[in-house]
């Protein structure tokens, strides 16, 4: 069991790593309660810049309940989170004490190639296209699986596999009847426990509960399984035409469950104690014998298992939330059946699945960890996934990118799924970033290719397919901010899917906004620092005839597109236009909303190139004399060492190459000599298998290679390892077997090298040694000499020194390395880049993209470079009666929260949560946007009311209750209410309330009968929530009914029911047609920085 622990941790990292699955009331006796407020404090581990003092702090959950009047009761609970809930650094290499225990789950047993049957009839090209664009069909082909008519898509091919192949050798996993028990390993608290089978749902989902589970745990788990499989047969759980359940649609689009590795056609939900609120799956369960399947000796956990923590069900007694988490984690199971993947693709795919792919709302930005600045999140590195950098909004941003790409006019669901399923079981072939995106996005808006054409990544071209898609995606996010659909661009690439267009994903009011009535220029060069793949968006609010200009010296690696809404008054259509450095754009016509959208698309932003690394080989005096009185280096030598006297770095693969020189055909005695000394890792190898089955006998090493050049060319024809006359120290040096250093077709002798040390007998200093190599076999060739230095992941030494390199035949010198600082040598970095078109030995999937020579992926995001491209704008002073002259302002406050302590409230029927606002000038509310969490129960619509600030808080004269539908089992997350001139006119400085509530009760069969219907509101801190008569004052009320308009008071919570918090509502206020205002008037309405 200990041998699978590293696999378990690795798998957990790929599971949904958020202890905060949902913020929910943990109490079910709610008949007497009107409001539940939950405060969650999430503690992170001491990783990636986190304060060590934060490590281990418990998860703090505070629950507030309102019992009427001003009585508020608070309870608190501490939950210890697991480190796996935070970001992890994947460290390679070996441990000095246990070098043989570092293999991945693909190497801890000998890999065997899966047989490929019936491939003779298919062409190589057709097979590669199938492997890339229909991965499930490709796997079925390789394993000879054929789906039977009517078979569930999650287990399509199961019947044929069992009846017509020897894949499982006649064995299948058997389960007891309902009520029976099986011993599983509890992976939350690491113990073996008896689990009782409580239900078999839809014939494919087993629900098991551990001893000690409660009736609540059992009830919610079974309901979640019924929701996932839609045993209720309700339309709200049918995600698409022809798909009757979330489970069915998930497997139709993403692929079947990996039953071919478990010999089981069941999914197992294990309800277990975990000491943490979470849920996960583990690839080391179903891939335990990979590439072989389970067998009669396999433990119970060698199956498709979803671990559902009792603590999560206690804290989240919502079966829809549990079912959604179930869908997310089973997406990881499907992905894991196709290989390993980088986190962006894995988590983006599963988060896309849990939302839009199942016809559910996307995971909102206000979910989980808090943040202070929407624009900081927008500008963060595309692959960042830490609390300090972007509050781990990685999931949401990548999910929405796949949601954008899944539009039929772009990639569509199937191709977007192929993109996120592009994985490999070969470590060297696992894709990262552009290694997948550049290939698939080449076909954006185009048919699937019929011919496989790999991509060579371009490290200088800003117009690569990924860059363009990232920029257009951000334009589509901004397009959601344009209020009227008719005023948005018509091209699909500039829009989010139709169902999401009226639910802005971003807080549009958070973008820097420049008001046309207040200014006529945006000067000084708007200059936002953007990390790779991040964005900056700014709004010019309703200017007419605006000109936007890019500075001539703007960074060309920041691409900019201008999005302008249509101007119906002048008949001008919406515009999207790209501006390069030095270019300008003038937008003709009437008042328009304009968005300046910028993305850092640095083509080398996720790559490490030759200029991004510290050179290992250097020439100088450091260590040159050694401790020998007879040093041959004459004051200078080439050295591969660490900086400032430290040991050389781990995971380094560098070459030191000579210039080309010709060896005469008659030079039968040609030889190469140089002086060297070294101090390298001296441990004997542990017998690890490297290369093509070679047994390692050493670790770090240095060897000499000869490159034979093509005739009259600087291109290498072939490369060979040359052996010194006295031989090397190691027959197989493991670091020299790194894929970056591979010589095609070479045998084990290509891994020879020096290791250990040239320490003298007294162990007082390193001795110089003279090395000699015969070049006789290369007579008549033009060659280059290269000294290769290779280190693995840990344990090092001082390094390697070389001087006095000389090639000669007889007395004729063919090549000589210069003395002093003169040199005829160059350094070369070896990066691990599998050639495009190479196929995985196990999965047969081709590599679709190849890095340029000398580049590798910056998977640790070590490049912390930001970029910016300054722009300016100007427009004429608007005519007094024009739309552009009408003053506008934002009212309310954008969501923000402490990173580690977020709070929320649950709103129930007959309640309204009310926020006090103040008119900055005479005018009316033009639109309002409400931000909610998506989990809800029993709610069909949300209401927004404008009420008097004075009791009994009647509706303002001329206003009506606005409603926004919430038709799904989850809430849309954002609700935009459009008044568009129909709202009541308010006088300058007039106070009023904007109140949200439940407009419609909608009960579904799976609703928790022990809970009241609710909406879930994220909260933000505000100093004025308890101060009567000022903007920000917050309260809850039971609004008066039409027959109570004459009463003088209504039931309220009193001010500040959320204890210094309010809800996230933003409104845009517009001056009456004949009014104007100053910036001073408007300043009260703005959210303070």
The band of 1075, judged by pLDDT with boundaries at 50, 70 and 90, is very low
Report the pLDDT averaged over residues 74-101. 33
Pairwise CA distance, residues 114 & 841, whole Å: 8
**Mean pLDDT confidence for 1014-1018:** 94
**For the whole model, what pTM was predicted?**
0.84
State how far the Cα of 378 lies from the Cα of 393, in Å rounded to an integer. Answer: 9
- Res 88 pLDDT > 60: no
Burial (CB count <10 Å: 0-12, 13-18, 19+), residue 498: exposed
pLDDT of residue 684: 64
Distance CA 484, CA 518 (A): 23
Q: What is the pLDDT of residue 746?
A: 83
Report the distance separating Cα 398 and Cα 404, nearest Å. 10
Cβ distance 865 to 532 under 8 Å? yes
- Comparing CA positions, the residue from 353, 352, 346, 355 lying closest to residue 433 is 346
DSSP state for residue 96 in the 8-state scheme: S
Q: State mean pLDDT over 669-696.
A: 81
Report the C-alpha gap between 479 and 496 in whole angstroms: 8
Instruction: Give the CA distances from residue 412 to residues 242, 471, 750, 1024, in Å, rounded to whole numbers and listed in that order.
Output: 17, 19, 47, 47
Strands 856-857 and 607-608, sheet pairing = antiparallel
| β-strand partners of 994 | 915, 946
Per-residue pLDDT, 116: 36
Q: What does residue 340 show for φ and ψ, rounded to 5 degrees?
A: -90, 160
| Predicted pLDDT of residue 1043 | 60
Of the listed ranges 213-217, 635-639, 845-849, 976-980, the least confidently predicted one is: 635-639
Tell me which H or E stretch contains 139. Answer: helix 135-143
Position 535 scores a pLDDT of 98
Query: What DSSP letter does each residue of 232-270 carry, written as one string?
Result: T--GGG--BTTB-SHHHHHHHHH----GGGTT---EEEE
Beta-ladder partners of 538: 596
pLDDT at position 460, please?
94
Is residue 114 pLDDT above 50, yes or no?
Answer: no
**3-class state of residue 1034 by DSSP:** strand
Helix (H) or strand (E) holding 192: strand 191-201
Query: Which residue would you say has higher pLDDT here, 32 or 656?
Result: 656
- Nearest Cα residue to 798 out of 673, 684, 627, 675: 627
Please report, rounded to a whole number, the percentage of residues in the chain having pLDDT higher than 90: 67
Could you give the 3-state DSSP secondary structure of residue 1035?
strand
Inter-CA distances, 820 with 84, 614, 815, Å: 53, 22, 16
Mean pLDDT score across all residues of the chain: 85
User: Which of these, 926, 876, 915, 921, lies nearest to 1057 by C-alpha position?
Assistant: 915
User: In terms of DSSP H, where are the helices of 270-426?
Assistant: 283-286, 310-315, 319-336, 343-354, 374-379, 387-390, 394-405, 412-420
Tens of pLDDT, residues 132-183: 999 999 999 999 999 999 999 999 999 999 999 999 999 999 999 999 999 9
Summarised one tens digit per residue, pLDDT across range 790-816 is: 998 777 899 999 999 999 999 999 999
Residue 375 pLDDT class (50, 70, 90 cuts): very high
pLDDT band at 611 (very low <50, low <70, confident <90, very high): confident
If one counts every other C-beta atom within 10 angstroms of the C-beta of residue 1004, the result is 15
pLDDT band at 570 (very low <50, low <70, confident <90, very high): confident
pLDDT, tens digit, 9 for 90 and up, residues 1051-1072: 899 999 999 999 999 999 999 9
Task: Output the pLDDT for position 820.
Answer: 57
Distance CA 366, CA 771 (A): 65
- Between 393 and 1088, name the one with better pLDDT: 393
| Predicted pLDDT of residue 1047 | 57
**pLDDT tens, position by position, 697-744:** 888 999 999 999 999 888 999 999 999 999 998 888 888 888 778 887
pLDDT of 294 strictly over 70:
yes
Tell whether omega for the bond before 952 is within 30 degrees of 0, i.e. cis. Answer: yes
Q: Give the pLDDT score at 717.
A: 94
Q: If you average pLDDT over residues 265-289, what whole number do you get? A: 95
> How long a stretch of residues is the chain?
1089
Q: Is the sign of the CA dihedral 762, 763, 766, 768 positive or negative? A: positive
Contact (CB, 8 A) for 112 and 139: no
Check residue 314 and give left, alpha or beta (phi > 0: left; psi -120 to 50: alpha): alpha
CA 513 to chain centre: 29
pLDDT in tens, 449-496: 999 999 999 999 999 999 999 999 999 999 999 999 999 999 999 999
């Amino acid at each position: 069991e200990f041998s699978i622990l590293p696999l378990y941790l690795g798998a957990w990292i790929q599971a949904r790593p958020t202890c905060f699955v949902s913020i929910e009331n943990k109490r079910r006796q709610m008949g007497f309660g009107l409001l539940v407020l939950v405060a969650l404090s999430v503690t992170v581990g001491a990783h990636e810049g986190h304060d060590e003092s934060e490590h281990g702090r418990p998860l703090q959950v505070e629950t507030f309940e309102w019992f009427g009047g001003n009585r508020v009761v608070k309870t608190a609970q501490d939950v210890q989170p697991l480190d796996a809930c935070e970001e992890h650094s994947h460290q390679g290499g070996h441990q000095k004490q246990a070098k043989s225990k570092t293999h991945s789950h693909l190497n801890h047993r000998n890999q065997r190639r899966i047989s490929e049957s019936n491939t003779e009839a298919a062409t190589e090209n057709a097979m590669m296209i199938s492997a890339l664009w229909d991965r499930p069909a490709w796997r079925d082909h390789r394993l000879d699986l054929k789906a039977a008519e009517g078979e569930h898509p999650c287990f399509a091919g199961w019947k044929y596999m069992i009846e017509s192949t020897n894949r499982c050798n006649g064995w299948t996993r058997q389960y007891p009847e309902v009520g029976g028990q099986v011993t599983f390993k509890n992976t939350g608290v690491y113990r073996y426990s008896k689990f009782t089978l409580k239900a078999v749902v839809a014939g494919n989902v087993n629900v098991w509960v551990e001893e000690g589970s409660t009736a609540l745990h059992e009830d919610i788990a079974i309901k979640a399984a019924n929701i996932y499989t839609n045993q209720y047969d309700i339309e709200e759980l049918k995600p698409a035409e022809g798909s009757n359940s979330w489970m069915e649609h998930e497997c139709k689009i993403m692929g079947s469950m990996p039953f071919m590795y478990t010999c089981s056609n069941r999914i197992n939900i294990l309800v277990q104690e975990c000491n943490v609120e979470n849920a996960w799956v583990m690839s080391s369960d179903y891939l335990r014998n990979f590439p072989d399947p389970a067998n009669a000796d396999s433990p119970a956990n060698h199956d498709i298992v979803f671990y559902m923590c009792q603590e999560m069900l206690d804290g989240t007694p919502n079966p829809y939330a549990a079912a959604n988490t179930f869908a997310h984690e089973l997406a990881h199971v499907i992905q894991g059946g196709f290989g390993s993947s980088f986190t962006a693709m894995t988590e983006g795919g599963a988060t896309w699945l849990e939302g839009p792919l199942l016809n559910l709302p996307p995971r909102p930005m206000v979910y989980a960890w808090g943040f202070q600045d929407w624009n900081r999140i927008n500008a963060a590195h595309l692959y960042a996934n830490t609390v300090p950098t972007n509050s781990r909004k990685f999931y949401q941003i990548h999910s929405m990118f796949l949601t954008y790409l899944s539009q039929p006019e772009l990639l569509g669901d199937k191709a977007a799924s192929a993109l996120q399923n592009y994985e490999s079981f070969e470590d060297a072939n696992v894709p990262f970033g552009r290694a997948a995106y550049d290939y698939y996005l080449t076909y954006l808006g185009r048919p699937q290719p019929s011919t496989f054409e790999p991509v060579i990544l371009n490290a200088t071209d800003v117009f690569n397919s990924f860059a363009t898609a990232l920029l257009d995606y951000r334009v589509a996010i901004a397009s959601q901010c344009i209020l009227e659909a008719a005023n948005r661009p018509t091209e699909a690439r500039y829009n989010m899917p139709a169902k999401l267009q009226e639910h802005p994903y971003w807080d549009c009011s958070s973008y820097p906004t420049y008001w046309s009535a207040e200014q006529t220029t945006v000067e000084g060069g708007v200059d936002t620092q953007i990390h790779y793949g991040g964005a900056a968006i700014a709004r010019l609010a309703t200017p007419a005839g605006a000109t936007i200009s890019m500075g001539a010296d703007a960074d060309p690696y920041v691409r900019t597109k201008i999005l302008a809404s249509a101007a119906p008054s002048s008949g001008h259509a919406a515009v999207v236009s790209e501006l390069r450095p030095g270019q300008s754009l003038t937008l003709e016509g009437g008042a328009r909303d304009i968005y300046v959208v910028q993305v850092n698309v640095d083509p080398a932003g996720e790559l490490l190139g030759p200029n991004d690394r510290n050179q290992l080989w250097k020439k100088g005096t450091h260590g040159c004399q050694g401790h020998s009185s007879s040093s041959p280096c004459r004051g200078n030598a080439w050295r591969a060492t660490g900086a400032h006297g430290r040991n050389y770095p781990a995971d380094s693969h560098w070459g030191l190459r000579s210039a080309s020189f010709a060896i005469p055909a008659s030079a039968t005695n040609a030889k190469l000599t140089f002086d060297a000394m070294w101090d390298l890792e001296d441990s004997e190898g542990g017998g690890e298998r490297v290369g093509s089955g070679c047994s390692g006998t050493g670790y770090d090493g240095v060897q000499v290679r000869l490159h034979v050049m093509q005739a009259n060319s600087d291109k290498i024809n072939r490369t060979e390892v040359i052996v010194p006359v006295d031989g090397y120290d190691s027959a197989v040096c493991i670091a020299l077997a790194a894929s970056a250093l591979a010589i095609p077709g070479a045998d084990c002798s290509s891994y020879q090298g020096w290791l250990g040390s040239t320490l003298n007998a007294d162990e007082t200093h390193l001795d110089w040694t003279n090395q000699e190599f015969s070049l006789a076999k290369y007579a008549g060739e033009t060659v280059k000499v290269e000294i290769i230095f290779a280190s693995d992941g840990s344990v090092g030494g001082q390094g390697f020194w070389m001087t006095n390199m000389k090639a000669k035949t007889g007395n004729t010198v063919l090549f000589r390395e210069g003395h002093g600082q003169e040199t005829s040598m160059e350094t070369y970095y070896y990066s691990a880049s599998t050639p495009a078109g190479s196929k995985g030995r196990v999965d047969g999937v081709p590599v679709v993209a190849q890095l340029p020579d000398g580049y590798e992926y910056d998977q640790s995001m070590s490049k912390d470079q930001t970029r910016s491209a300054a722009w300016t704008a100007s427009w004429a002073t608007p005519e007094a009666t024009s739309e552009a002259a009408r003053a506008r302002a934002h009212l309310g406050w954008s969501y923000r929260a402490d990173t580690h302590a977020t709070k929320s409230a649950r709103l129930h029927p007959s309640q309204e949560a009310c926020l006090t606002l103040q008119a900055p000038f005479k005018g009316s509310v033009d639109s309002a946007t409400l931000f909610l969490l998506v989990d809800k129960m029993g709610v069909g619509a949300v209401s927004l009311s404008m009420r008097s600030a004075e009791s009994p808080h009647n509706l303002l004269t001329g206003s009506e209750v606005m409603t926004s539908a919430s038709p799904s089992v989850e809430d849309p997350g954002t609700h935009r209410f459009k008044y568009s001139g129909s709202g009541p006119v308010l006088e300058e400085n007039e106070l009023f309330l904007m109140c949200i509530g439940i407009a419609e009760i909608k009960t579904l069969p799976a609703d928790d009968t022990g809970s009241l219907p609710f909406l879930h509101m994220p909260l933000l801190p505000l100093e004025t929530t308890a101060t009567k008569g000022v903007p920000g004052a917050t309260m809850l009320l039971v609004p008066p009914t039409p027959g109570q308009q004459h009463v003088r008071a209504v039931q309220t919570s009193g001010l500040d029911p959320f204890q210094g918090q309010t809800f996230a509502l933003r409104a845009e206020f517009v001056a009456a047609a004949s009014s104007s205002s100053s910036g001073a008037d408007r300043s009260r309405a703005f959210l303070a920085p």
